[in-house]
Amino acid sequence: MEPVEELATKEYKWGFVTDIESETIAKGLNEDVVRLISSKKNEPTWLLDWRLNAFRQWQKLKEPKWPNVTYPPIDYQACSYYSAPKQNVKKGSMDEIDPELVKTYEKLGIPLDEQKRLSNVAVDAVFDSVSVATTAKDYLEKLGIIFCSFSEAVQKHPDLIRKYLGSVVPSNDNFFASLNSAVFSDGSFCWIPKGVKCPMELSTYFRINAADTGQFERTLIVAEEGAIVSYLEGCTAPKRDTNQLHAAVVELVAQKDANIKYSTVQNWYPGDKEGKGGIYNFVTKRGRCAGANSKISWTQVETGSAITWKYPSVILQGDNSVGEFYSVAVVNNRQQADTGTKMIHVGKNTRSTIVSKGISAGKGQNTYRGQVKVVKKATGARNYTQCDSLLIGDRCGAHTFPYIEVQNSSARVEHEASTSKISEDQIFYCKQRGVSTENAINMIVNGFCKEVFRELPMEFAVEAQKLLGVSLDGSVG
């Protein structure tokens, strides 16, 4: 069959650089750097100790070699671990934020101005290593909801941070999580009190701007008994020739009857056509359904990054708790993704659903890696996994590595997998009805991802569909 014709490549439109004076610490990583970051944030001693402990553990850990991705060795001494725009310490009022920053976020479609902000979304804007603004804070405060930058939470709510930090992802969990624990700079903290349903979407927008720096943020979301929250995460970075490291940690805790929905649209700069530049996205995301009847749902749309290494997981500890993972991962050109989830069934009658849609185009390599584990006492556990791959062109690859470990005989675990290819005939059929190749591919891909997109909040779903269109441009050959 003839190859589908090549499309024109659209630019990565979030690739601009903000011209702003930044304070960036010298490259390299050692205990002094960890101390410096901690002192810049004016942290209590226990937190500095926690960081130092993580750093010492990190030195003993080895970078994981098992993911199905290849990249040259990373020189961890060649990157700077802290970069912040020079401005006065974060202020409550928008008037005091550097207008360049406000402009940057506006350009990204995230108005920070309280007057202009999206009506139903509260945003924490993280720029390189620091949070520069958080909107709708006062309104949320009246409901008892805490939504602020991680640094602020350390100062204002040290007890909550001390209680939950590292409670889901311990500081020695893995190489990248340990690195993050040692040098994490900022991120978001959300705490929803007992019985409160958060009335708006909470979101964090991560932006890497500075060159040769890593971004190491931490997000911690705690939903107390019966609380409900939906959280969104978005990210972009300028186009640069060098690779940049992004190693985040996200921890979620859902107490009894609580419900956390976490959605990500990941759009880090993926590198150019030849694979030059782009973000290394090595992220640890995990939630703990701590209480009975709690629920944690991950939805991710991964279109960016040169390399993605990420497994948003759920530990189903409480009886009758529910874990979900809905994922669309797109690789184009020379992008590589090794992503999936872990569902660890501990409590009785726990249920999990995994729907993974991998799309490979260009010379991209897409790997689904998932683990379903049912421990001995998890009577009545159920899992359903559906794992579909779509190939565009014949130079890309799709790989699936499901690990299933069941120790309880009453468990029911299902796994379905499929691989398909956008066929010349499907495209021709669309064209014969007047639809261009580009729109035909968009339509077919969106149809393929439908089950995941319908899990996204409305506004996000529209964004995600558009994003998919841009990501796949020039992919067909």
Partner 1 sequence: MLEIKELHASVAKKEILKGLSLSVKAGEVHAIMGPNGSGKSTLAQVLAGHPSYTVTGGTVSYFGKDLLEMSPEDRAKEGIFLAFQYPVEIPGVSNSYFLRAGYNEIRKHRGEPELDVMDFNKLLKERSKVLHIDDSLLNRPVNEGFSGGEKKRNEIFQLAVLEPRLAILDETDSGLDIDALRTVSDGVNKLRSKDRAFIVVTHYQRLLNYIVPDFVHVLSAGKIVKSGGKELALELEKRGYDWVKEPVAAGAAL
The Cα-based distances of 20 to 24, 104, 118, 134, 237 in angstroms read 12, 10, 25, 20, 15
Q: Between residues 24 and 386, which has the closer beta carbon with respect to partner 1?
A: 386
Query: Least distance to partner 1 from the beta carbon of 389, Å?
Result: 13
Query: Least distance to partner 1 from the beta carbon of 436, Å?
Result: 5
Q: Between residues 343 and 427, which has the closer beta carbon with respect to partner 1?
A: 427
Q: Between residues 210 and 422, which has the closer beta carbon with respect to partner 1?
A: 422
Q: Between residues 156 and 454, which has the closer beta carbon with respect to partner 1?
A: 454
Q: Which amino acid is present at 296?
A: I
Q: Between residues 68 and 426, which has the closer beta carbon with respect to partner 1?
A: 426
According to DSSP, the residues that pair with 285 across neighbouring strands are 250
Exposure string (b/e) for 27-41, b if CB count within 10 Å is 16 or more?
A: eebeeebbebbbebb
Query: Least distance to partner 1 from the beta carbon of 361, Å?
Result: 17
Q: Between residues 73 and 434, which has the closer beta carbon with respect to partner 1?
A: 434
Query: Least distance to partner 1 from the beta carbon of 453, Å?
Result: 10
Alpha-carbon gap, residue 148 to 47, rounded angstroms: 18
How many of the other CB atoms lie within 10 Å of CB of 423?
Answer: 12
414 alpha carbon, distance to own chain's centre: 26
Query: Least distance to partner 1 from the beta carbon of 477, Å?
Result: 14
Q: Between residues 65 and 433, which has the closer beta carbon with respect to partner 1?
A: 433
Which residue, among 86, 79, 78, 100, has the nearest Cα to 23 in the 3D structure? Answer: 86
Query: Least distance to partner 1 from the beta carbon of 469, Å?
Result: 13
- List residues near partner 1 by CB under 8 A: 1-2, 423-426, 428-437, 439, 443-444, 446-451
Query: Least distance to partner 1 from the beta carbon of 462, Å?
Result: 14
Residues 6+ apart with CB under 8 A from 201: 120, 121, 122, 230, 231, 232, 457
Alpha-carbon gap, residue 154 to 90, rounded angstroms: 14
Query: Is residue 39 within a helix (H) or strand (E), and if so which, with residue range?
Result: helix 31-40
Query: Least distance to partner 1 from the beta carbon of 439, Å?
Result: 7
Q: Between residues 101 and 390, which has the closer beta carbon with respect to partner 1?
A: 390
The Cα-based distances of 445 to 152, 366, 448 in angstroms read 41, 15, 5
Write down how long the chain is. 477
Beta strands 201-207 and 228-236 are parallel
